[in-house]
Amino acid sequence: MRKEIPILITLFIGVFMVLKFFFEPVDWVRISAEEIAKIAQVVVASSVVLGVANILRINFRAIVQRRRDWGYKLALLVTMFLLMGAGFWAHFYHHRVTSLVVGDLLFQDLYGNLLSPLQSTMFALLAFFIASAAFRAFRVRNLPAALLMFAAILIMLGRVPLGHWLSQALGLGALLPNVADWLMGVPNTAGQRAILIGVALGIIAVGLRVIFGIERPYLKGE
């Protein structure tokens, strides 16, 4: 029964969600699917609590045992509780945090001056790594590599305002931007479509395998 019950639940829910897609006007199908969706929302929301508990379990132990980088783990827990505390405090005592206009509350300050710059900084580092990777990766070793490199160069030249300016300065009209647009609109679209159709077929296959219990990732492969 340890295996059969989860498989039956998956089959029941999977079939209902598929039925809803095709038979939405039928009341009992729609209403049942809506109820299942509500349960799913509660499960997803509950996973946040599990996530916090897991972070606490792993990091607290590392801090107590003074493992490597325990200082960073302490910073993680302190900032997590600081933001959580500020959020709860603002929610229960100051409803302005939920208004549309940015208030001057602790939570918004922490968000704007701590979380936002840190996340932006991490993402901005990508620019440096992409530049370094492009510098090393784009080599004319063979024909496909050369095609990739020339396409990348044309896109980089044509997709920015300097491309328009340069194209006109050279008396080429809007050639560079037009070439970049063509590359994005035709070869890129064709490739993306092929990938999307393949991915969609793969998702259908995996979905059916999970619904019928052939694959059971939720049972750790049992």
- Which parts of 19-58 interact with other proteins (CB under 8 A)? 20-21, 24, 30, 33-34, 37-38, 40-41, 44-45, 48
Residues 176-215, one symbol each (x = binds other proteins by CB under 8 A, - = not), give: -x---x--xx--xx--xx--x-------------------
Q: Shortest gap between Cβ of 105 and other proteins (angstroms)?
A: 11
Q: Shortest gap between Cβ of 159 and other proteins (angstroms)?
A: 6
Q: Which helix (H) or strand (E) holds 12?
A: helix 4-22
- Tokens in use for 141? 């070793």
Q: Which helix (H) or strand (E) holds 37?
A: helix 27-64
CA angle 108, 110, 113 (to 5 degrees): 100
Is the distance from CB of 105 to CB of 97 less than 8 angstroms? yes
- Whose Cβ is closer to other proteins: residue 56's or residue 156's? 156
Q: Shortest gap between Cβ of 74 and other proteins (angstroms)?
A: 23
Q: Which of 10, 63, 138, 148 binds other proteins (CB under 8 A)?
A: 138
**CA proximity to 173, closest of 163, 159, 182:** 163
Residues 147-166, one symbol each (x = binds other proteins by CB under 8 A, - = not), give: --x--xx--xx-xxxxxxx-
Binding-site size for other proteins (CB under 8 A) equals 64
215: left (phi over 0), alpha (psi -120 to 50) or beta: beta
- Whose Cβ is closer to other proteins: residue 7's or residue 13's? 13
- Please list the alpha-helical segments (H only) found in 94-186: 106-110, 116-137, 143-158, 161-169, 175-185
Q: Terminal CA-to-CA distance of the chain, rounded, Å?
A: 13
Q: Shortest gap between Cβ of 79 and other proteins (angstroms)?
A: 14
Give Dmax (Cα) for the chain. 76
Q: Shortest gap between Cβ of 122 and other proteins (angstroms)?
A: 6
C-alpha–C-alpha distance, residues 158 and 154, integer Å: 6
Contacting positions for other proteins (CB under 8 A): 17, 20-21, 24, 30, 33-34, 37-38, 40-41, 44-45, 48, 95, 98-102, 108, 111-112, 115-117, 119-120, 122-124, 127-128, 131-132, 134-136, 138-141, 149, 152-153, 156-157, 159-165, 174, 177, 181, 184-185, 188-189, 192-193, 196
